[in-house]
Amino acid sequence: NSPSIFVNIEEKLLGKETENPIITPMIKEFFSNNLFANFVKIESADLIVRGNVNTSKKSDSPNEWGIYQTFTDATITILNGRTGDEIYSVTVPKMQGADFNSNEGSAKEGIKKISKKLETITMPQILKRMEEL
């Protein structure tokens, strides 16, 4: 049986909702490839994946080497869609992004780093946890 999954990750790029999210597509692709998941509205979901990804700049100007620096934090929570019970929760704090052109580029780099960490470490842990249920 393929699970029905609802995914809602709010990605904010320096305080503004990003137009090109990175985390949500990665999570959907992971569940699609590993569980053949169906993505549904929240009302009919077996699993609810919620999260927040926020970026913040270290400064308005680049450092002494001309690098703009930002930090990215992510929190992901997975709930049982039927009971509302929390199945898994993780926070990935202060992943640093850097870019020579802008704080926005730096923030995007931080989100990409968080995405890679979630994809390679966190998502396999979530999958293992789900198999134990």
Position 32 scores a pLDDT of 95
Q: How far is CA 85 from CA 21, 47, 51, 88, 94, in A?
A: 27, 10, 16, 9, 27
Position 128 scores a pLDDT of 87
In the 8-state DSSP scheme, what is residue 84? -
56: burial class by Cβ within 10 Å (0-12, 13-18, 19+)? middle
Q: What does the pLDDT look like over 48-105, one tens digit per residue? A: 999 999 999 999 999 999 999 999 999 999 999 999 999 899 999 999 999 999 999 9
Average pLDDT, integer, range 25-36: 95
Q: What is the mean pLDDT of the chain?
A: 94
Q: Are strands 4-13 and 16-17 parallel, antiparallel or unpaired?
A: antiparallel
Task: Please report, rounded to a whole number, the percentage of residues in the chain having pLDDT higher than 70.
Answer: 99
CA distance 9 to 38: 17
Q: Which two tokens stand for residue 77?
A: 């929570």
pTM: 0.89
